[in-house]
């Protein structure tokens, strides 16, 4: 939906009023696909109004502080803080207007796979899982763990996380790739430095508005008991579900819910999203600027290095953005890295309707 300006408040207000009226009409949910699209447009209009209100409030606050400064009041620190907050809002909204792909507004599914290296890599994979969950919390998103395969000694082998929030996939796609950790190993009695790898795969969670055809005969469905660290984390019934898509070789699983049916539904949703993402990657394979490239989980393929010893620095090799406060980053402060990626790799401007193909057509062509 295009507006006359970044914050065309009158247009957004008219849009919101019209869409709210249509959602109250009888039979609104008779066409679920059209209803979801309408609700998505309503959410965009509400976001535009919320942004305009936030900027207006910050502007009023800053103008008041300026008046106090003119009167000799000691509010310089408050004024600096207000300016910093406005700057952060501007950067966030600027990035949002660059996220013009249809899938950017969808929830994101993030998978973590430990690389070679045994316990070291598995512990690193669990550190990444915590980092991304904390990032989601910082963004105010709804986060959930769909599946975790715990290692025998420490850490995890794989994990699937779900993030639902404003432009969740649009932001998380910057994390797709191999992540490298260098540190003094806590598992080495000789305190030697070790290098570990883990891969992160990100896909948009497709909804009913995107058609992904999956033939039931192409699926192998297994059930098993949910794993965990013991006690209440272990399900006593075979409620966990693993689905193998035979033509593509993709394997997805879910054990978060106690109900086998719910786990199957979530696993199918993940599978549809993986197939959709694969179609997107094949279509964008000729675009050298795209960061989401499948690589070997090892040396020379990492998108980002997390060095904790002999010095402390986290550097993204695609953008050269780096931070020395590694604890802050590992606690979920990824905004700098993601902003740098989006500024560098996301094309400016909206694509025209003629340049776009519908998601349904995309899937028909590629899957």
> How would DSSP label each residue in 77-104?
HHHHHHHHHHHHHHHHHHHHTT--SGGG
Q: Which of 84, 109, 157 is nearest to 269 (CA)?
A: 109
Q: Supply 150's token pair.
A: 């715990």
Cis previous bond, 185, omega within 30: no
Per-residue pLDDT at 97: 73
**Length of the chain, please?**
367
CA–CA dist 207, 198 (Å, integer): 28
Cα 54 versus chain centre, distance: 24
pLDDT by residue (tens digit) across 235-292? 566 677 888 888 887 888 787 676 778 787 778 878 878 787 777 777 666 444 444 4
Return the top range by mean pLDDT from 42-46, 178-182, 229-233: 178-182
pLDDT by residue (tens digit) across 47-56? 788 888 888 8
So what's the architecture of 102-366 in CATH? Answer: 2-Layer Sandwich (3.30)
Give the domain ranges of the chain: 9-96, 102-366
Q: Supply 107's token pair.
A: 């929830």
The 3 state secondary structure assigned to 173-220 is: HHHCEEEEEEEECCCCCCCCEEEEEEEEEEEECCCCCCCCCCCHHHEE
Q: Name the DSSP letter for residue 319.
A: T
pLDDT by residue (tens digit) across 84-115? 888 878 877 777 777 877 788 889 999 999 98
């Amino acid at each position: 939906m295009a507006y006359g300006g970044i914050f065309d408040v009158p247009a957004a207000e008219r849009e919101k009023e019209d869409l709210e009226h249509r959602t109250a009409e009888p039979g609104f949910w008779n066409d679920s696909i059209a209803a979801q699209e309408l609700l998505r447009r309503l959410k965009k209009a509400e976001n535009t109004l919320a942004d305009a209100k936030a900027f207006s409030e910050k502007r009023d606050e800053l103008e008041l502080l300026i008046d106090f400064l003119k009167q000799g009041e000691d509010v310089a620190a408050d004024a600096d803080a207000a300016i910093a907050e406005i700057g952060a809002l501007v950067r966030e909204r600027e990035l949002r207007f660059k996220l013009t792909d249809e899938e950017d507004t969808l929830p994101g599914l993030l998978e973590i796979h430990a690389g070679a290296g045994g316990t070291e890599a598995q512990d690193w994979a669990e550190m990444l899982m915590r980092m991304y969950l904390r990032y989601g919390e910082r963004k105010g998103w709804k986060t959930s763990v769909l599946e975790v395969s715990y290692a025998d000694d420490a850490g995890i082998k794989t994990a699937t996380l779900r993030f639902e929030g404003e432009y969740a996939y649009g932001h998380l796609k910057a994390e797709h790739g191999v992540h490298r950790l260098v540190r003094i190993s806590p598992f080495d009695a000789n305190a030697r430095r070790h290098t570990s790898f883990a891969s992160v795969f990100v896909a948009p969670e497709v909804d009913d508005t995107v058609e992904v055809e999956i033939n039931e005969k192409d699926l192998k469905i297994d059930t098993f008991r949910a794993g965990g660290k013991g006690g209440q984390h272990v399900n006593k019934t075979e409620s966990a579900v693993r689905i193998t898509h035979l033509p593509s070789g993709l394997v997805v699983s879910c054990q978060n819910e106690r109900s086998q049916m719910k786990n199957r539904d979530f696993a199918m949703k993940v599978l549809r999203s993986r197939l959709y993402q694969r179609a997107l990657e094949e279509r964008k394979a000729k675009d050298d600027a795209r960061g989401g490239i499948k690589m070997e989980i090892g040396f020379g393929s990492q998108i980002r290095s997390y060095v904790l010893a002999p010095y402390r620095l986290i550097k993204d090799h695609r953008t050269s953005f780096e931070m020395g406060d590694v604890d802050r980053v590992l606690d979920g402060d990824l905004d700098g890295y993601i902003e740098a990626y989006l500024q560098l790799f996301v094309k400016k401007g909206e694509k025209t309707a003629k340049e776009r193909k519908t998601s349904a057509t995309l899937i028909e062509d590629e899957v």
